[in-house]
Amino acid sequence: MGMDDKKLPFCESNKCSCLVFVFVVAGIAAVVCVTFLVDDVRDIYDHDGKAAGTPWWKTTIIYQIYPRSFQDSNGDGVGDLQGIISRLSYFNYLNVGAIWLSPFFTSPMKDFGYDVSNYTEVDPLFGNMNDFDNLMKEAKSKGIKVIIDFVPNHTSNESIWFKHSRNAKDSSDPFWDFYIWNKGTMINGTRAPPNNWESVFEGSAWEWDNVRGAYYYHAFLASQPDLNYRNKRVLEKMDEVVRFWMDKGVDGLRIDAIPHLFEIANQSLDEPKGATNGFDENLHKYLKNQPEIYSVVKRWRAILDTYEAKDDNSRFLLAETVGIPHEARLKYYEAGSVPFFFNLIPAEDKCNATAQCFKTLIKDGVNLTEGLWPNFVIGNHDNRRIADRIGQEYVDAMNMMLLTLPGTPTTYYGEELGMRGGDYSRMTPRDPYAITSHDPTKSRDSERNPMQWDTSLFSGFTNSSQGPWLPITINTEYMKVNVEIEKNKTGSSLDLYRTLAVLRQNEAFKSTNIDFPKMNVMNVLIYIRGSGTNRYLVALNLGEENDGINIAGAAKNATLTFSTKPRQGSLDLSNIQLKIGEGIIVHLVE
């Protein structure tokens, strides 16, 4: 007996049956319509494909691995894919469900892999394709999603494409316009670049090439020529790259340097004076954030969607969007990606990391049209570690902030331990940015220091007799700050991180809502997550002195759920004292 048969006794006349029939048909039509509409909306914002329920990237932490520095398996002092495989269970232990791998593709390593010479090969330094396939298999068996770096803006000058292009004789050659070439100008009989455009890594963005007899444009190093995205062949080649990795089963891509994908077509235009800081969002108006970018992102999204449609596994598209205005951020969402919200990283430069300032930055981070999914990030391979940037005493509070804010958090390897960066001040920098800018303070070596696993020689990172590619330095206190020691220490940064990673699975932290109660506290950042009876108040002392808060107005009763430091006695809601760098989570009971 069907459902309709059951209903009939309540409606026996013919007229009534007819009406029921009309309602049923209308109902089915409405459901179909809404499903399509919702799918449409979802396609724009969630990219959930056909996958039912919440996509995995909305419920997990993403952990960034810089492969050179995570785990060496073959004793050459450089981390590799086998090394990562050997550490996969660490992510289960950490309660982290996704890893993002910085580049491991064939590269002359001038920018440590962000100069790719072959997009579909593994650099021998990191292993081989077999290792990658094993990594995927092992990660899958442990329930860990794998996101890989995708570096579409530029290749290495050792790429076969660039070799073809510089040797191309005329436009009949398919590689003729693969890169951005310009003959330049003559100034008083001397050859000069076509305009004043500068590279992010400083100096002219144009490099003369004797073989081709022209300048080529490079947003980054001279050995990283920019691809020409106005060339349909480039687009097609990159589609193949995306498909290659999707076929390998990766769960998402992090698109490198996407705001640089296009430059203004008119190369006779000079940039405004002072446009020398590559990461400043107000400068480089001809070199960054050009409107053509979004259709390319959409194109890659569409490829990912075809894979989602096949297996119901949502594919995540993260965009590295340093220095973009708010409107551009929304356009990346519209195009089907989630643009990294980086504003918490330079917080200490902007406003000395006061609570009020963080509040403004966070509000900015969640200032999104309904349906858009926020994300926060507080460190990566291009910025000093939290302990060095903000201060060791704030690491736990910062991790706590990251893991209790709405949206997807990204943690840079080692930050869960409160690792300091290496002190390489007396060493010649390895980072090309420090070299090309002739400014060692710009070096990114410090934050790329080897992961500290244990108390053995070289912290368990390598068994090379030469030591790791970047030394493990004394300032990091590696004998105390490492996985082995922190695993066994209640209240260590690692211990707190793991607990928070579980806590954030509570519904209150899964939603996107966040409230900032009106309280005039200088040093303590306070916000409330969740709704109804499931509300948690997060308080973080990010200031430079101990401070007290009165949250009696927020709830009649409250219980302490979590604290970064041991606390004694019961909570007096009208006077909760928080030490510098202390954070608490309080369950509010009406």
Contact positions vs ligand NOJ (CB under 6 A): 111, 114, 151, 220, 256-257, 320, 381-382
Taking the least distance from each CB to ligand NOJ, the nearer of 111 and 305 is 111
Nearest residue (CB) to ligand NOJ, 116 versus 362: 116
**73 phi, psi to nearest 5 deg:** -110, -20
Integer Cα distance of 96 and 578 in angstroms: 28
320 catalytic per annotation: yes
- Would you say 258 or 503 has its CB closer to ligand NOJ? 258
Q: Whose CA is closest to 377, among 322, 317, 441, 314? A: 322
- What's the CA angle centered on 412, arms 311 and 377, to 5 degrees? 80
Rounded to a whole number of angstroms, the minimum distance from the CB of residue 216 to ligand NOJ is 16
- SS percent in the chain: helix, strand, coil, step 5: 35, 15, 50
Cα–Cα distance, 519 to 537 (Å, whole number): 13
Cβ atoms of 453 and 486 within 8 Å: the answer is no
As given in the structure block, the two tokens for residue 207 are: 């490099």
Report the DSSP pairing between strands 557-563 and 583-589.
Answer: antiparallel
CA torsion 457-461-463-464 (nearest 10°) is -110
- What would the DSSP string read from start to end of 208-223? EETTTTEEEE-SS-TT
How far is Cα 293 from Cα 262, in angstroms, rounded to an integer?
7
Q: Which is nearer to ligand NOJ, 151 or 538 (CB)?
A: 151
Range 486-490 contact pairs with CB under 8 angstroms and sequence separation of 24 or more? 486/417, 487/93
CB of 112 to ligand NOJ, least distance (A): 7
Which among 323, 329, 221 is positioned nearest to 278, based on CA atoms?
323
Q: Considering beta carbons, is residue 320 or 415 the nearer one to ligand NOJ?
A: 320
Pairing of strands 252-255, 145-150: parallel
Longest alpha-carbon distance in the chain: 98
CB of 178 to ligand NOJ, least distance (A): 18
Q: What gap in Å lies between CA 380 and CA 386, rounded to an integer?
A: 10
* Whole-angstrom distance, CA of residue 68 vs CA of residue 122: 13
Which of 111, 388 has the CB closer to ligand NOJ? 111
Catalytic one of 198, 256, 388, 445: 256
Closest separation in Å from C-beta 238 to ligand NOJ? 15
51 or 257, CB closer to ligand NOJ? 257
Q: Which is nearer to ligand NOJ, 177 or 382 (CB)?
A: 382
Cβ at position 391, least distance to ligand NOJ in Å: 24
Q: Which is nearer to ligand NOJ, 280 or 507 (CB)?
A: 280
Q: Write down the residue that tokens 């969740």 correspond to.
A: 530
Shortest gap between Cβ of 107 and ligand NOJ (angstroms)?
11
> 198: which DSSP letter?
B
**Is the separation of the CB atoms in 262 and 319 below 8 Å?**
no
- Look up residue 333 and give its two tokens: 């969402």
Of how many residues is the chain composed? 590
Position 171: which residue type? S
Report the nearest approach of ligand NOJ to the CB of residue 114 (Å).
Answer: 3
- Look-up: residue for tokens 């000395």? 352
- Dist. CA 90–CA 83, nearest whole Å: 12
CA distance 463 to 71: 10
Q: Which of 320, 388, 416, 486 is catalytic?
A: 320
Q: Which secondary structure element, helix H or strand E, spans residue 397, and what is its range?
A: helix 395-404
**Least distance from ligand NOJ to the Cβ atom of residue 361, Å:** 20
Which residue's C-beta sits nearest to ligand NOJ? Answer: 114
Q: How far is the CB of 253 from ligand NOJ (least distance, A)?
A: 14
Q: Is 311 assigned a catalytic role?
A: no
Q: How far is CA 348 from CA 276, 277, 386, 398, in A?
A: 22, 18, 10, 12
User: Measured in whole angstroms, how far is the alpha carbon of residue 318 from the centre of its chain?
Assistant: 6
By C-beta, is 114 or 509 nearer to ligand NOJ? 114
In angstroms, give the least distance from the CB of 324 to ligand NOJ.
Answer: 13
H-helix or E-strand containing 114? none
Report the catalytic residues: 256, 320
